[in-house]
Amino acid sequence: MLSVLRNRTYRHLFTAQVVALLGTGLATVALGLLAYDMAGGRASAVLGTALAIKMVAYVAIAPLVGACAHRIPRRALLVTSDLTRAGVALTLPFVSQVWQVYALIFLLQAASAAFTPVFQATVPEVLPAERDYTHALSLSRLAYDLESLLSPALAALLLTAVSYHWLFAGTTLGFLASAALVVSAVLPRPAPVVRTGGGYAKAASGARLFWAEPGLRALLALDLAVAAAGAMVFVNTVVVVRGHFHESAGAVSLALGAYGAGSIAAALWLPRLLARASDRAVMLPAAYALPGVLVAVAATTLAPAGSWSWAGLLATWAAIGAASSAVLTPGGRLIRRRVPPAGLPAAFAAQFSLSHGCWLLTYPLAGWLAAGAGVPVTAGVLGVISLGAAGAATVVWRGERMPERAPARRTAAAVR
């Protein structure tokens, strides 16, 4: 899997992704603690609203960026996005009102909505071979997991010496380092794009690509299953750890780290599995595992706080991470096989926007429901949503006629 890092351009881009996500992970911990300081027991509602605002930025901006990206030099777009995110992160420690948090989160995530689809569309052009691209997807999943494993561990270490406000400085340094690495990479020329219609028409073309392919429609349903389970982790961890278990701020990092550990374990295992099994055979069982884990979360948070229930929480968080990784990692392969090269930027932007539309639904639901009805009820409701989404994906995917076995297996056999 690490062989793809021999490609200098991909190595620089991957390293840029890693350092940016390390910084984002520090901000995730700091933002949760900031919300708890501002709102106490209603921190779930504040975080749910903040993360919903993040999704609004993703859903509204990503398709337009994907449609117009061919008009802007890629390097300039990526670097500007990183510098904008660095500036916002530097401002967050000085906020004193909840509405200020909301405004800065929107600006920060608008820059991320410009960065991520362009980055995703660049990788398959840098690594055109199916086997290399599959390895890159697993590495990318590992990079995302750094946000919920290594960065929380680093945050826990830093919190022993400094206040959580200083974590935002680490976020700023991560984005600045990412910008420097993008500047140092030699990016490929994008494939020619047929210029028909305005920006909104081009943005809609990416969504039409998803509607036309059963496999891509199933991918969106699976995104909803993951969003339902993931919202439970990202919105309610701080309330469960601090409010139910009465643990320290460092324990919030430990719980998020358990989620990341599960996801990393799955990402390391997936390249071998995907060489032998179809994407569908991997993604659907993982999606069906998520509702069962959420039922276990409800049972764990109903039980009195104790050592066994704390261990149960960490185990369920790790299981959600593993199942989510198994669903999300092969998604890029599905898109790449069904979309021509010239349509990849619009397709990845549409996937980025539509999938985050799922999070736009589940983030505020997880936050406000937990604040009003409690964590166990929230876990149960999200479990029902996750089960329904997995069932919808199964039904939709029955219309898929394209063979699901990856060309990478035949290539590997030929090499052997």
Residue 383 forms part of a structural domain: yes
Residue 222: what pLDDT? 93
The number of folded domains in the chain is 1
d(CA 258, CA 264): 10
Residues 6+ apart with CB under 8 A from 131: 408, 411, 412
- Alpha-carbon Rg of the chain, whole angstroms? 20
Residue 203: what pLDDT? 52
Residue among 349, 284, 357 nearest 323 (CA): 284
Predicted confidence (pLDDT) at residue 210 exceeds the cutoff of 90? no
Residue 198: what pLDDT? 47
Residues of the chain with pLDDT > 90: what percent? 16
What average pLDDT is seen over the chain? 78
Residue 162 forms part of a structural domain: yes
191 or 3: which leads in pLDDT: 3
Q: Which of 119-123, 267-271, 314-318, 366-370 has the lowest mean pLDDT?
A: 119-123
Per DSSP, helices labelled H in 92-163 are: 98-126, 130-146, 150-159
Exposed / middle / buried, residue 278 (Cβ in 10 Å: 0-12, 13-18, 19+): middle
pTM over 0.75: no
150 — pLDDT class (breaks 50, 70, 90):
low
Residue 359 forms part of a structural domain: yes
**Which range marks the domain in which residue 86 is found?**
2-186+198-415
124 or 83: which leads in pLDDT: 83
Residue among 241, 208, 213 nearest 47 (CA): 241
Q: Which of 4-8, 219-223, 350-354 has the lowest mean pLDDT?
A: 350-354
Q: Measure CA of the first residue to CA of the last residue in the chain; give whole Å.
A: 16
Residue 41: what pLDDT? 61
- Mean per-residue pLDDT for 340-346? 69
Residue 192 forms part of a structural domain: no
Q: What is the CATH number of the domain that holds 292?
A: 1.20.1250.20
Predicted confidence (pLDDT) at residue 403 exceeds the cutoff of 60? no
Residue 193 forms part of a structural domain: no
- Mean per-residue pLDDT for 353-372? 85
405 — pLDDT class (breaks 50, 70, 90):
very low
